[in-house]
A and B are shown apart, each in its own frame.
Chain A
Amino acid sequence: MEKPVRERIVDSYFWKDQCFAVNEADIIDRVVEHVKFVGGTYGDSQKPSPFLCLAFKLLQLGPTDDVLQEYLEYGGEKFKYLRALAVFYVRLTRKATDVYLFLEPFLEDKRKLVMRTRTGKRLTFMDEFVDSLLTKERMCSTTLWKMPSRAQLEDEEKLDPRISPLGDIENLLDSEPEEIDGGDGSDGNGRNRS
């Protein structure tokens, strides 16, 4: 997280009131009680969201993989915003292969989330949120460290290909007309200049 954001967090009332002397179990209570949307800073005053404050708290606490697994799985099943917080934290702190392995199962989680940005609230979904964390450079007022793509890691044999819960994707996709693009030999040089 960038310094200005961190400063806004520690200056915020929510931080002072709700994030003092909080342990890993308290985090769950705080999320359940106060996190009603995901997001970074919002509004004209760029107020940090409870979500972001608690993410910052997690950065200080540095929970182990086991604790994260609890947040993600059991806790996350019950409380979607707890899962959202945990996936965000994993994205910030774990190495690329682990990020993919931890996060991808939740591309199946279609639950709704409210996302609050500077301009207002909008609907998003857990799977969309996770996908954005895997593919975007910036989320929730936080620059995400540059991760190698999944394909890269597959090439290096650090990851097995992901199997979508939809099963045999070939059939689903191949039913759409394939694009014919120049065919072989033209190598993207579609322009005809003789």
Chain B
Amino acid sequence: WDDEEEDEDEVDDTDDLDPEAEYAAWKLRELKRIKRDREAIEAHEKELEEIERRKNLTEEERKAEDDAFLAKQKEEKDSKGKMS
């Protein structure tokens, strides 16, 4: 394990070479994570809202919406042909 290979493509993992830059880099990563998580929650909430809205529709309204959606899907599929 540690008998060969060393020194070919060494990556330096020494910490605190430049503490300020390392902190700034960490902060950016943390912000990105928070943003990502929050966006996921927002997307999820939107989905729940949509489910709730659909629940409140009548049977006919739902069917009409489904048909419209399917038609649209088909149209897109036809126009796109293959996956791009």
Chain A interfacial positions (CB closer than 8 Å to B): 13-14, 34, 36-37, 49-50, 80, 107, 110-114, 120-123, 125, 127-128, 131, 149-151, 164-166, 169, 172-173, 187-188, 191, 193
Contacts and interface: CB of A to CB of B under 8 A. Distances in A.
Contact of B13 (A14, A112, A150, A151): A112
Contact of A149 (B33, B40, B53): B40
Contacts of B29: 125, 127-128, 131
A173 B50 contact: no
A128 B2 CA distance: 25
A169 B34 contact: yes
Contacts of B83: none
The prevalent SS among residues of B at the interface is: helix
B20 to A, nearest CB: 12
A37 to B, nearest CB: 8
A131 B10 CA distance: 24
30 contacts: A36-B2, A50-B1, A50-B2, A110-B22, A110-B23, A110-B25, A110-B26, A112-B13, A112-B14, A112-B15, A112-B22, A114-B11, A114-B13, A121-B9, A121-B11, A123-B13, A125-B25, A125-B29, A127-B26, A128-B29, A131-B29, A149-B40, A151-B40, A151-B41, A164-B30, A165-B30, A166-B34, A169-B34, A173-B34, A193-B72
A113 B26 CA distance: 13
A113 B46 CA distance: 38
Contact of A188 (B10, B35, B40, B50): B50
B13 A113 contact: yes
The prevalent SS among residues of A at the interface is: mixed
Contact of B31 (A14, A36, A121, A173): A173
B27 interface: yes
A165 B23 CA distance: 12
Interface in B1-45: 1-2, 9-15, 22-23, 25-27, 29-31, 33-35, 37-38, 40-41, 44
Nearest to A154: B41
A13 B3 CA distance: 11
B11 A123 contact: yes
A191 B1 CA distance: 57
Contacts of A169: 31, 34
